[in-house]
Amino acid sequence: MSLKNFKSISKKLRIICVELAYKSSSSHIGSSLSIIDILTVLYFEVLNIKPKNPNYKNRDKFILSKGHACLAQYTVLYKAGFFDKKMLDTFGKNNSKLMTHISSEVPGVELSTGSLGHGLPFATGIAYINKILKKKIKIFVLISDGELNEGSNWEAIQFASHHKLSNLNILIDQNNEQSLGPTNKIINLEKLIDKFKCYNLDVCETDGHNYTNILKSLKRTSNNKTKVTIFKTIKGKGVSFMENKTLWHYKSPSYYEYSLALKEII
């Protein structure tokens, strides 16, 4: 897929995300907008998946550990053909499978998440069993920088390193904001790349909004090492008044803010 197509898809997904956040009065739009570009490249160029057969036996696996950013994954799954617009429009409504934290009831979703620190250990277990079974299945898990405060992640990282899980790809959404404020004010994650290198992992750092860089990092290979990509992103990317604002971890857009956001994205 061309870079132009990636940009076009991401733009459409941002529009849908903002619209659904407004209509459902849901939170976490900032967290969703920061990962749209990563998920676009992942789903439309990297993952071996079959949207019409979500439980395809030899599919690659993607786990969104930061489950509060589910709106980003739901819109990508819709665009990829896992379900229709009618289902997407039920987001956040009573009795909908599209809850406001990611749900495995939705076609294409591997794990219900939202309680942070669970996605990576789960992904590590899947990677381990697939290595034992010698299956050529890639496992991708996306976690937030604030989520790295959870100790369970570091236990999983040690396990992945020890067992040389080269089929595991850890994606870090480093947007520098978490629920209570800037990550460096809560627990400083400076020199994050060095922390991962200490575990003898294949680590790289790149722009999480540059499609060429995203694709290159996601497609790289590494013998006997788990791959970690630290994506430098912007919370609320694409809407100026949402960018780098902790407020948009919680706030849902008003009609005025929704209209203003659409004008910026379009």
Read off the pLDDT band of 113 (50, 70, 90).
very high
Per-residue pLDDT tens over the stretch 150-195? 999 999 999 999 999 999 999 999 999 888 888 888 888 888 999 9
State the Cα–Cα distance between residues 71 and 73, nearest whole angstrom: 6
pLDDT score recorded for residue 185: 86
- For residue 106, the one-letter residue type is V
Read off the pLDDT band of 73 (50, 70, 90).
very high
Q: Which residues of 61-97 are buried (b: 16+ CB within 10 A; e: fewer)?
A: bbbbbbbbbbbbbbbbbbbbebbeeebbbebbeeebe
Cβ atoms of 144 and 168 within 8 Å: the answer is no
- Give the residue extent of every domain in the chain: 3-265
Mean pLDDT of 219-247: 95
Paired with 174 in beta bridges are 232
What's the CATH number for 3-265? Answer: 3.40.50.970
State the Cα–Cα distance between residues 134 and 174, nearest whole angstrom: 32
C-alpha separations of 32 from 178, 197, 217, 239, 254 in Å:
13, 28, 20, 12, 17
C-alpha separations of 188 from 111, 177, 182, 191 in Å:
29, 11, 9, 9
Per-residue pLDDT tens over the stretch 224-235? 999 999 999 999
pLDDT score recorded for residue 114: 85
pLDDT at 259 over 90: yes
